[in-house]
Structures are given as structure tokens and as C-alpha cells.
A and B are shown apart, each in its own frame.
Chain A
Amino acid sequence: MISWLAYYDDVIGHMFVLMILAFSMYVVMRVGVFSVASIGFWAIAGYGAAIADQYDVPPLLIVGGALLVSGVFGLLLALLAVRLSGLSLTMVTIAFVLLLQVIVLNWEDVTGGSLGIFGLPVHIGTYGLLAVVIVVAVLLALYERGRTGRAQDSLLHDEQLAQSVGIDIRRQRIVALTLSALLGGLAGCLNVFQTGMMVSNEVGFHVVVDALTMVILGGTAAWYGPVIGAAILAWLPQMLSFADEWRLAVQGVIIVVVLVFAPQGAAGLIQRLARGVAAKRRSSLLKRREPQDVSA
């Protein structure tokens, strides 16, 4: 077990980083907004952290700076984006990511161009990342209980209904987009701290695809959706090693199959099973007590 953990230490650590990125995607998708801006903040914070690290800025200060910058930019983007809806909003976030990619590739003096920045010290290990994931997951789970969770559910499934029961759609979206930016920035920063490098590959479209894969596989029904999605994505290369160069094709097939047969992802599947069990238990309870009045 110990040797197994040691052998796959990098994969496990990367999985935890991916979980935070998946959380970032999840918090916006949860309120019915299709945004890939998370990748933008992942990139901004990643390069910010890598550059600051070259000048030996203390890691905690870097994390603080990354959160501050992505929070402020996230809020600005949110204020701009909530004026739009649906596909136009998604396009703005895609444009944001593509714009950053161009900047990263061309501003070689600062970003290192296509080679990126590498050879940085590793600041966080697997257990440190696990701790961060647990803290974020607990906070999210607490956040989406009760009132807030019901508001998110209504925004995800029926915007008009949400408005008709007093939910301010714009405000909810601004909060979600800002929260998503913070988490995306945190993930980008931790990615650099774990790997000791930031390469231009981390801004491209394939990161967008990976991030989407996580939320599609995991689903947006609850906080454990992105956890499952990130875990699957992190281990996919290992699991699909038999497919060699066909790996990406197999990954694509898996996504299509999940979208067709379990569009709500793993979390949605779990919730549906739980609802079925609850319904069955209730109906058998009712049958047993039929003669009396059963008040819930």
C-alpha cells in the first residue's frame, strides 16, 4: 500500500489539484451558467505564482495574491458576463481563455512563451493538497445546504421558477462566478506548487476539455460530483494505457456514453438511486400503517 502510494504520488497529487479545478467549474454550472472561465483563472494564477516564485516570494503570500487577483478579476468578469445569458455568456468565457492563451504564447519575456516556466521549488505535497481539498469540500457542502442549495437547484433546472420565488438571478450568478474564479485561481496556484512548473499547455483548449470532462462525468447535482469526476479524469490515462495513441478517442467515447445514458453524471445517478430507495421505503411504510393517518 505504502509503495503503491509512493509510486503514484504524482497522480494522486494531481488528482487533488484537479478536484479543486472541478469545484471551480462546478460552482458556476450548479447555478445554470455554462462557463469555462475557470481555466482562465487557473492560468492567470498559475503564471502569477510561477513568476512570483522566481523572485522567492513566500508561498503563502503567493496564494493570497493569487486569490486576491482572481477574485477581483472574477468579479469584474462576472459583472460583465451577467448582462448576457446562455450561449453568449459561454462565448465570453471561451474568448477570455483564448485571449489568455495568445498573451501567454506571445509575451515570452514574462511567461516563457511555449516553453513556460519550470524548475521551481515544490511547495506542497500530496497530504497538503488533500487537506485543501477536504477544507474546500466541507465548505461547499455546508454552503449548499438548505436555502442556498434550493436556490441553486431552482436556478439549474428552472430560471423562471427561481425568479418567481424571489431569487435574484444576477446576484446569484455574480456570487457563483466570483467563487468559481477564486477556486480556479487556487487550483492554478497549487498546480504550480505541486509540479514546480507552469507550461503554455496549461492554458490551451485541452484543459477546457479536461475540465468539462470532469463536470460531465461527475455531474453538478452535488459537491461530490466534481470529486468523482476529477478522480476519474486523473486515473483515465492509467486505466486507458492499453489504448495507446487511441486514448483520447476512447475518452471521447466515454464522455458521449455518459452524456447519453447518465446526463446528470455520477452525482445525479447517486441522487436518483437515493430518491428511488427513499420512495420505496416510504411506500412500504405507508402500506404497513395504512389504516391510521400518517402525518409526515
Chain B
Amino acid sequence: MSLLSIVDAQVRFGGVRAVDGVTISLERGNVHGLVGPNGSGKTTLVNAISGFARLHDGSVTLNDEQISGMRPDQIFTRGISRTFQSIRLLSTLTVRENILIGTDRARAEGDGRGAGKLLPRDAVNDRVDHAVALLGLEKFAGDFPSQLPYGLQRRVEIARSVASRPELILLDEPFAGMSRAERDELSDVLIEIADDGFTLLVIEHDMRIIHKICSHLFVMNFGRCIAEGSPRETAELEIVQEAYLGKQHGTA
């Protein structure tokens, strides 16, 4: 059974079909990549999964429970956590407190229906400590986000997601705006997170990173999923090359 199944998902903004009949499923423990040109519907798909965009048709199910139609906060308590394209940290809270927010409404393990009890204090501390260590933020836990460089701020966001111990983490361009060195470091961290048992869906443009971290790749264009499979094979497909480079032959 797939962890998450999306069947014939459609999201429209006025006359624009931002997501136009996407059917994909995510497998537990995998790192999934989601690529496609700008405006191809990647973020809208992530918004649809996390409840920030309403589906006009189709369905999203997590562990056999339909989550499409639920509010974002309900979807979070079912076990899907996400980050945003822009950095969303609270400047008034320390790094550790920003990560704590991820655990505040998280439910105790073994409860998939979102109705479980809130976590006891020591479980919260364990999760936050674990997330802090996993993302290499030990030295900065007492700092305020504005004191950290951009790359580390991104890590705090990912730590916030990890600390909630979700079934699925959606990362919307976590590498955007990073230097090459920061990208390499963060991709190593994402591999560690996956080894820790998390399932990820990562939006990213850099195919080098995709090859490094992803075991399964989805390619979107014009609101549709035009190809999927192992990153190496999928990237080679002509339809994918066309989507990215345009219909032009003879380029190196």
C-alpha cells in the first residue's frame, strides 16, 4: 500500500488549470523528487496535498484515509508536514522555540487519525533534541533566526518539520538561494533524514542534487505529471528534455 495516493487531482485558478489531472503515489521511506519548469504546478500540487489549495476534482489519500477537503491544520495532525518556498521562521522566538512549534500540535506516535493526545513534555524534548542534532543546529539552538545565515535558517525550518515526526515531509525548494557548498551539505543532511525513516517529497531544479538524493522522480509540465521513474532514466526521456530545454535538437 502506498503512503500517499493522489488520484486525478485538479486545481484551477479561474480558467487556469494549475494542476490538471495528476495521479501519482508516494512510497514509504523514499525520497521523491518533483521537478518541472516554472509554473508547471509543482507548488500547487504541494499546496493541494497540504490543504492550502482546494482540489476541484480528484482525491488525496494518506494511509487509506481521504485527506483532500481537510484544513491544513487537520492534515498536519494526520502526519504531513511542509515547508514553504520563502523562509517562514518567527523572529521573536529562538531557534529551539521555532522547532518546538512543530511539536506543539503533533500527535503521539501510532495514531494516524489526528485525534490522539498531544505529546508529553519529555517526548517533545526528545524529538526537538533529535531534530536539532540531525540538522546540525546544536550550537545555534539559543540564537534568534535573524542571527543565522540563510542556509542555517533553512535547516531550522526542516528541523521544525522533522521534530513533528510526520509520515511525510514536503519540502518546497529547500535548496533555493544556497551556495554550492551549502547545497552539498544540505543534501547530505536530507539523505540522513531519509535514512532515519522519513518519507520526503522535494521540489528542486538542480538535477545534480536530484540524482544524489532521490530514489524516485516525478516530472511536471503544464499541470500534468509527464514522466516518473528512477531519476537517471526519467531525466533521459525525450519528453522531459523537451519540457526543460524546449523542442530543439542537437544541443550538447
Interface size class of B (residues with CB under 8 A): 35 or more
A43 nearest CB across to chain B (Å): 34
Q: Are the CB atoms of A158 and B90 closer together than 8 Å?
A: yes
Bound CA–CA A215/B77 (angstroms): 34
> Quick check: A282 and B142 within 8 Å, CB to CB?
yes
Over the window 206-222 of chain A, the binary record of Cβ atoms lying under 8 Å from chain B Cβ atoms (1 yes, 0 no) is: 00000000000000010
Partner pick for A164 among B81, B93, B104, CB 8 A cutoff: B81
Candidates A163, A282, A286; contact of B72 at CB < 8 Å: A163
User: Is the contact region of chain A dominated by helix, strand, or loop, or is it mixed?
Assistant: helix
Residues of B within 8 A of A169 (CB): 73
Looking at B18-26, B58-66, B133-141, B243-251, the stretch in contact with chain A turns out to be B133-141
A3 lies within 8 A of chain B by Cβ = no
- Give B81-98 interface residues, CB cut-off 8 Å to A: 81-82, 84, 88, 90-93, 96-97
A174 to B246, CA, bound (A): 52
**Alpha-carbon gap, A165 to B88, bound state (A):** 11
**What residues of chain B lie closer than 8 Å to A294, measured between beta carbons?**
139
A279 contacts B147, CB within 8 Å? Answer: yes
Residues of A near B139 (CB, < 8 A) are 286, 293-296
A83 → chain B closest CB, angstroms? 14
Instruction: Write out, one digit per residue, whether chain B residues 154-177 have a CB within 8 A of any chain A CB (1) or not (0).
Output: 000000100010000000000000
Verify if A157 is at the interface (C-beta below 8 Å from B): yes
Contact count band on A: 20 to 34
The digit string for A257-294, where 1 denotes a CB below 8 A from any CB of B, is 00000000000000100010011001000100000011
Q: In the complex, A150→B139 CA distance in Å?
A: 22
Q: In the complex, what distance in Å separates the CA atom of A293 from the CA atom of B104?
A: 29
Do A164 and B84 have beta carbons less than 8 Å apart?
yes
Interchain nearest-CB distance for A274 vs B (Å): 10
Q: Verify A165–B160 contact, CB threshold 8 A.
A: yes
Name B137's closest neighbour in chain A (CB-CB): A296
A sample of 10 cross-chain residue pairs with beta-carbon separation below 8 angstroms, ordered by A number, consists of A153-B90, A158-B88, A160-B72, A163-B71, A164-B81, A165-B102, A165-B105, A166-B77, A166-B106, A168-B71
Closest 4 A-B residue pairs measured CB to CB? A166-B105, A296-B141, A166-B76, A163-B72
A contacts, CB < 8 Å to B? 147, 150-151, 153-154, 157-158, 160-169, 221, 271, 275, 278-279, 282, 286, 293-296
Given contacts A162-B73, A282-B143, 19 further A-B contacts (CB under 8 A): A150-B104, A157-B91, A160-B72, A160-B84, A161-B90, A163-B71, A163-B73, A164-B72, A164-B84, A165-B81, A165-B104, A165-B160, A166-B73, A166-B77, A167-B73, A279-B143, A296-B96, A296-B139, A296-B141
